[in-house]
């Protein structure tokens, strides 16, 4: 009897699974993106890398892999690219080092993992996953997180691995600006730009499970061990199969106060708001407090949203219904 | 005309303010509280300290002070007492040091501040407030948070200030137990007890503003720079004048995953669930995942709730309508 049921299941499952929507959305940060400084060649580089990450994640989903694996596959590529403020190419702290944060959440189980302030892990998103799967904790910070990484057999890279000349110049510029300001005057767009740039991915797999992940180098000229929204479950990252998967990018302090990722999911959970409206309402809360940024989201039905209230947001998406693209400016 | 309006306001305001409910609820941690080990003398000590903290906070509110000031007044007393796992009397990490976390949120503005892993600040809740009011950040971790404290003129205490013999013995017991376990077997109640104990306070002032704060020493034998829910805005602490103020205590990992404090507020915000029902529903989510603990909450109308699904939760409350008490066992 059991065997017959298993055989029936084996025949039926792939058919019903074939009808299920799947896909992913990813971002490479929202913020001030200077159209004039973005040469066609540079823009092509961004588009190529976003496409590469998108296709890597999509390939995982297409062959029946999990949303979690797809999120990791996409984010690792963005972390490895010097174009984005995560992993290699992360911004510098005031001390001239790179400190990385990442988090991940499994919509199937609401398991979550996060690391804050790690300095020698090539792909922080993989360490966040390890915290989720191999420790009894959700969040590990600083040297403690690296001790855990060591115990888990992670390879370490010197902090210099993350350094890029571009980010070094950003730090110098930020320091000059900070020194020139006698008071905490209104900040310029360049200051604000220093705050953004994070990568993230949300995915829905063929089994109907959602996952979300976010990884960042934080903000240029960061001091005092500042922790932004990226490693905070409920702020930068959230996933629940019953509602949606969200990854955020923006002015972290406001995203924490609003609890952006969880707030979007809560609207779906408690009043049935469609994903797109929920995300817009939450971003409006951020704006009302004085912050800005963007989010990417995907719900269980395969609806996606990618709103931002900044000049641009690097993003890519591909769904099993054929919808796909990469974009930098103009909210779709 | 302006003068007349101000005069009218001056006469009317105190009258209407006099009708407004105000008050506070505080907790000294939820968890395994051994009735047999809690001698009458020891229980009297807990009750006296809870009452002292409650009255200190209430006095602030009674004389027209802010909810924020009341939260600080109550929590500082609990931090200074060796009875609770926060400030003096905090539990030891695996390294034999005390590492403290705290967070605070202002319901009026949704401003928030948090510190994680500080070792030399006598009252971490006051540093969390300083992060909220004097920095552009929400969360500072580790040595960076202490550098900020130094800049703000905080007095430092040696880590030994926090040490107590009772907690030293708990660490030794936890280490022995950990060493005895070859595998990650089912944990005993004593293990679980090591996880709990946090202090917190929520307050509603005469002006109708809410605030929430939480402070903890984390978990005994803590390793890897683990961060629990106490310093996470939306998990351990949340306040919004439009909904409620919440402080949580319990198995931090589950409280982060559920986003306990924000989840309670979200139910009020998005489907008008009464505070008490919302808090119960959120704690049920924690239980469904395998966690436990408790929360205290106060809404804008002065309704309070103090549910927990552990053996006990140290708590105290006093409202302007005359309701008051302190309790350890049996949910009211």
Domain boundaries, chain A: 25-327
Q: Which residues of B touch A95 (CB under 8 A)?
A: none
Chain Cα centroid distance, residue A130: 17
Residue range B14-26, pLDDT digits in tens: 445 567 999 999 9
d(CA B192, CA B175): 14
For residues B134-156, average pLDDT: 96
Q: How far is A51 from chain B (nearest CA, A)?
A: 31
pLDDT given for residue B183 in this prediction: 44
Tell me whether strands A23-31 and A312-319 are parallel, antiparallel or unpaired: antiparallel
pLDDT given for residue B5 in this prediction: 52
Q: Do A257 and B289 touch (CB under 8 A)?
A: no
Q: Which of A140, A145, A262 sits opposite B262 (nearest CB)?
A: A262
Q: Do A233 and B235 touch (CB under 8 A)?
A: yes
The domain made up of A25-327 has a fold known as 3.60.20
Who contacts B168 (Cβ-Cβ below 8 Å, separation ≥6)? B92
Q: How many CA atoms lie within 13 A of A188 on its CB side?
A: 7
Match 């409350």 to its residue by tokens: B317
* Nearest in space to A303 (alpha carbons), one of A248, A263, A252, A264: A264
- Work out the widest C-alpha separation in chain A, in whole angstroms: 79
Q: Which residues of A touch B137 (CB under 8 A)?
A: 224, 226, 253
Identify the H or E element spanning B90. none
Q: Which of B112, B116, B135 sits opposite A257 (nearest CB)?
A: B112
- Tell me what ipTM this predicted complex has: 0.91
Confidence of residue A303 (pLDDT cuts 50, 70, 90): very high
pLDDT given for residue B186 in this prediction: 45
Q: Do A148 and B112 touch (CB under 8 A)?
A: no
Return the DSSP state at B96. S
For residues A151-170, average pLDDT: 94
Is residue B303 within 8 Å of B279, Cβ to Cβ?
Answer: no
Q: With 0-12 CB in 10 A as exposed, 13-18 as middle and 19+ as buried, what is A10?
A: exposed
Q: How far is B140 from chain A (nearest CA, A)?
A: 4
d(CA B142, CA B144): 5
Is residue B213 within 8 Å of B237, Cβ to Cβ?
Answer: yes
Confidence of residue B332 (pLDDT cuts 50, 70, 90): very low
Residue range B201-259, pLDDT digits in tens: 999 999 999 999 999 998 888 889 999 999 999 999 999 999 999 999 999 999 999 99
Q: How far is A158 from chain B (nearest CA, A)?
A: 20
Q: Which residues of B touch A136 (CB under 8 A)?
A: 184, 253
Please report, rounded to a whole number, the percentage of residues in chain A having pLDDT higher than 70: 89
Residue range A124-135, pLDDT digits in tens: 999 999 999 999
pLDDT given for residue A4 in this prediction: 54
Chain Cα centroid distance, residue B111: 17
The residue count for chain B: 332
pLDDT given for residue B221 in this prediction: 86
Q: Which residues of A touch B271 (CB under 8 A)?
A: 270-271
């Amino acid at each position: 009897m059991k065997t017959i049921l298993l055989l029936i299941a084996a025949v039926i499952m792939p058919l019903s699974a074939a009808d299920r929507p799947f896909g992913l959305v990813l971002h490479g940060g929202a913020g001030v993106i200077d159209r004039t400084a973005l040469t066609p060649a540079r823009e092509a580089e961004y588009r190529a890398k976003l496409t590469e990450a998108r296709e890597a994640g999509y390939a995982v989903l297409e062959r029946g892999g999990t949303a979690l694996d797809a999120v990791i596959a996409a984010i690792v590529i963005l972390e490895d690219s010097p174009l984005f403020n995560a992993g290699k190419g992360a911004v510098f702290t005031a001390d001239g080092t790179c400190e990385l944060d990442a988090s991940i959440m499994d919509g199937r189980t609401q398991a979550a993992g996060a690391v804050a302030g790690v300095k020698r892990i090539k792909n922080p998103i993989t360490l966040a996953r390890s915290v989720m799967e191999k420790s009894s904790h959700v969040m590990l910070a600083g040297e403690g997180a690296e001790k855990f990484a060591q115990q888990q057999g992670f390879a370490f890279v010197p902090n210099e691995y993350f350094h890029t000349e571009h980010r070094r110049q950003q730090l110098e510029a930020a320091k000059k600006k900070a020194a020139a300001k006698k008071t905490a005057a209104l900040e310029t767009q360049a200051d604000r730009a220093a705050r953004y740039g994070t990568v993230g991915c949300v995915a829905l797999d063929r089994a109907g499970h959602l996952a979300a992940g976010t990884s960042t180098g934080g903000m240029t000229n960061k001091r005092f061990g500042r922790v932004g929204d990226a490693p905070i479950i409920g702020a930068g990252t959230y996933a629940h199969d019953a509602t949606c998967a969200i990854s955020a990018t923006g002015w972290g302090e406001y995203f924490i106060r609003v609890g952006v990722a969880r707030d979007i999911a809560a609207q779906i959970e408690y009043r049935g708001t469609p994903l797109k409206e929920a995300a817009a309402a939450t971003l409006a809360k951020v704006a009302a407090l004085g912050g800005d940024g963007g989010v990417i989201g995907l719900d269980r039905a395969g609806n996606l949203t990618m709103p931002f209230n900044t000049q641009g947001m690097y993003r890519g998406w591909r769904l099993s219904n054929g919808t796909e693209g990469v974009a930098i400016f103009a909210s779709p």
